[in-house]
Amino acid sequence: MRILIIGDIVGRPGRNALKEHLEELKNFYNVNLVIANGENAAGGNGITRKVADELFEMGISLLTTGNHVWDQKEILQFIDEEPRILRPANYLEGTPGRGSAVINLDGVKVGVLNLQGTTFMPCNRNPFFVAIEEVEKLKAETNIILVDFHAEATSEKIAMGYFLDGKVSCVFGTHTHVQTADEKILPNGTAYITDIGMTGPYESVLGIDKELIIKRFTSSVPLRFEVAKGPAQINGIVIEVDENTGKSLSIERINKICT
């Protein structure tokens, strides 16, 4: 089966790009399932009920997130009742929401696990130890397992790839908003890429207005960020997974500039 995974959707520009092009991408790559990272989908920060529904209606089956998951306060009102939105599984005990899910696709089950790194990020539970626990639980239901490792440091992300190699179908990174060119099938069959990139304004710094970010780096006075304007890009990957073994057969990067 073929799965399309969309990188961090940033604000309305990211959502509009998908509204216009997702169907076409699904057809072109002939995909059976679409998931996306939605932590920046609402105005660049977090996700709301309305924005999530907009994305589900486009045919995205599940949204993973990361450090921006709580940016919109209303998420605390619905995340417990919404199994299609994940937050990192290695958040501390007692955190609302859930970190993994199983999608039932006409009888074929696909497990999705969301994890967050701890290097240059807040300290949560060790993502490697939690990965082992969660993968074991998902394995009881399916061999097809996708892992969104939302992390900053390349070392931590690649280590997770090798750590889970042969245990899951795909480990893909999110959070840096820059797509990496290191996609590969690891020795034991896991598709891997350090970061799948960002779906949002093309001429921007991670989706944010570039002049504001330049000001931030050249000033000691903080300022409000705003999602950039202009044409968008759609970043992501398509993987092909053997449904019987759960191993990946291919991984291909998508980097579409929408003009």
Q: Hey, which residues between 42 and 81 contact Fe ion (CB under 5 A)?
A: 66-67
CB burial string 20-30: b at 16+ within 10 A, e below: ebbeebbeebe
Strand partners, 254: 236
Question: Can you tell me whether residue 10 is helix, strand or coil?
Answer: coil
CA distance 242 to 239: 10
Binding test (CB under 8 A) with a second copy, winner from 84, 109, 253, 256: 253
66 binds, among Fe ion, a second copy, none (CB under 5 to 8 A by kind): Fe ion
Size of the site for a second copy (CB under 8 A): 56
Q: Tell whether residue 205 is a contact of a second copy (CB under 8 A).
A: yes
DSSP helix/strand/coil, 142: coil
Of residues 147-186, those binding a second copy (CB under 8 A): 152-156, 158-160, 162-163, 176-182
81 touches a second copy (CB under 8 A)? no
> Does position 167 bind Fe ion by CB under 5 A?
no
Residue tagged active-site, from 26, 68, 125, 157: 68
- Rounded to a whole number, what is the largest CA-CA distance in the chain? 55
Residues 6 or more apart in contact with residue 249 via CB below 8 angstroms: 185, 240, 241, 242
Residues at the interface with Fe ion (CB under 5 A): 8, 39-40, 66-67, 175
Annotated binding site for Fe cation, which residues? 8, 39-40, 67, 150, 175, 177
Task: Write out the catalytic residue numbers.
Answer: 68
